[in-house]
Amino acid sequence: MTPDNGTMNGTICLVTGASRGIGKATAIGLARSGARVAIVSRDRKRGEAARNEIQNAAGNRSVELFLADLSSQESIRNLAAAVANRLPALHVLVNNAGIIMAERRLNADGHEMTFAVNHLAYFSLTHHLLNLLKKGAPARIVNVSSEAHRRAPLDLDNLQGEKLYRGLEAYACSKLANILFTHHLAERLAGTGITVNCLHPGVIETGLLEDYVGEMNRVIRWVRPLLRPFFGDAETGAGCSLYLAASPDLSGVTGKYFIRQREARSSSRSHDKVLAGRLWEESCRLTAI
Ligand SMILES: NC(=O)c1ccc[n+]([C@@H]2O[C@H](COP(=O)([O-])OP(=O)(O)OC[C@H]3O[C@@H](n4cnc5c(N)ncnc54)[C@H](OP(=O)(O)O)[C@@H]3O)[C@@H](O)[C@H]2O)c1
C-alpha cells in the first residue's frame, strides 16, 4: 500500500536503513506521496545511489541523504544534530535499519552489534529526535520489528550475548526489544501528539538473510530457490510501514503492533511492563541518555 499522490505534501519523514530493501521501498512510497524524505545510510556511495533511485522512482527531488553508522552512539548523536540543523520539524520517523550477525561482535562502544543496531539505535535516535518530532506534532514513530520476536529468550542478564550468543536468538531478542520499547514509549508520550507503533513487514526477500554469515547461510543458499515463492518483495514489505506512517485511520492510535496493515497481538512477553521498564533503564544506561 502506498499513500495516494499528494497526500503527504508538507510532511517531513526520516527513514533509516533506506539504502536497500524495505527501507528503500518505504522511502519511495513516502516520496511518491509528496513527502519530503530524509534517508539515512552508513555509506556515501550506497546512500547517494539510493537517494537518486528514490528520487527517480518517486518523481520527487525532495529526498536528502544523511550519513550515519547506527551501531555507534556518537554517530547517532551527530546524525540527530545534523537532522535538527537541516529540518524544521519531523512528522514521521521510521526506525527500520536492521542486521543479523552470526558471530558475536562488539562495536567501538563495547555493545554487541545486533543489539546496538536493532534496538539501541531505535532507542537513542528516537530520543535525540524527540524535540523535532514535538515540533512536527501530530507526529508518528514507526518501529520495524518482526514476528521473530516470539522466539526471543530475552534475558536482561544476557542482553548482549555475554553469557551465550546465537545469531538468530540475538536477532529475535532485539525484535522483542523493539516492541517492548514501543509499548513503554507510547505510555511516556501520551498527550504529546506523538504516536508510536510497530510492525512485522512479512517474510521479504532482501539482503538481510544474505548478510547473515554462518551455518544458516550455507543452508539458506541451498534452499533459497525453493523458498522464493514464499517471500514477498520489498514493496510488499514496505506496505505496513507506509500504512503506519500515513494512514488517516491511525490518527491517535499508539502502542500497537501490526501485521499486513492490521492490528495484531504480539507475544505475551512483549506486554510485560516490568520487563519493558527494566529494558528502558538499561537502554538509558547504555546510551547515556
Ligand atoms: N526481510 C524480512 O523478511 C524481514 C522480516 C521481519 C522484519 N524485518 C525487519 O525489516 C527491517 C529492514 O530489513 P530488510 O529486510 O530491508 O534488510 P536489508 O535489506 O538488509 O536492509 C537493512 C538496512 O539497514 C542498514 N543498516 C544496517 N546496519 C547499519 C548501520 N550500522 N548503520 C546504518 N545503517 C545500517 C543497511 O544499510 P547498508 O546498505 O549500509 O548495509 C540497509 O539499508 C529490519 O529492521 C528487519 O529486522 C525484515
Q: Is the peptide bond before 229 cis (omega within 30 degrees of 0)?
A: no
Ligand 1, atom 20, residue with closest C-alpha: 208
Q: Is residue 7 included in any domain, yes or no?
A: no
Of the listed 122, 171, 212, 257, which one is catalytic? Answer: 171
Q: Provide the pLDDT for residue 223.
A: 65
Pocket residue to mutate for ligand 1, from 77, 204, 259, most atoms within 8 A of Cβ: 204
Catalytic annotation on 171? yes
Pocket residue to mutate for ligand 1, from 16, 22, 111, most atoms within 8 A of Cβ: 22
Ligand 1, atom 5, residue with closest C-alpha: 203
CA of 133 to the centre of ligand 1 (A): 23
Q: Is residue 2 included in any domain, yes or no?
A: no
DSSP-H helix ranges across the chain: 21-32, 44-58, 73-86, 113-115, 121-136, 167-188, 207-210, 215-227, 234-246, 273-287
Q: Provide the pLDDT for residue 53.
A: 98
Three cell numbers, residue 176: 522483542
**207 CB within 6 A, ligand 1:** yes
Q: Provide the pLDDT for residue 36.
A: 98
Q: Is residue 4 included in any domain, yes or no?
A: no
Half-sphere exposure (CA, 13 Å, Cβ side) for 219?
4
The count of domains in the chain is 1
Q: Provide the pLDDT for residue 210.
A: 67
Q: Which residue has the cell 518505504?
A: 26
**Separation between Cα atoms, residue 22 and residue 242, nearest integer Å:** 10
Low-confidence spans in the chain with pLDDT less than 50:
213, 215
Q: Is residue 1 included in any domain, yes or no?
A: no
Q: Is residue 3 included in any domain, yes or no?
A: no
CA 168, distance to chain mean position in Å, is: 18
**21 CB within 6 A, ligand 1:** yes
pTM of the model: 0.96
| Atom from ligand 1 closest to the CA of residue 97 | 24
Cβ atoms 200, 141 nearer than 8 A:
no
Q: Provide the pLDDT for residue 166.
A: 93
Q: Provide the pLDDT for residue 51.
A: 98
Q: Which residue has the cell 548523536?
A: 77
Q: Is residue 5 included in any domain, yes or no?
A: no
Q: Is residue 35 included in any domain, yes or no?
A: yes
Quickly count: other Cβ atoms within 10 Å of residue 20's Cβ.
17
Q: Is residue 6 included in any domain, yes or no?
A: no
What is the domain extent for residue 130?
12-287
Q: What is the CATH number of the domain that holds 43?
A: 3.40.50.720
**97 CB within 6 A, ligand 1:** yes
**2 CB within 6 A, ligand 1:** no
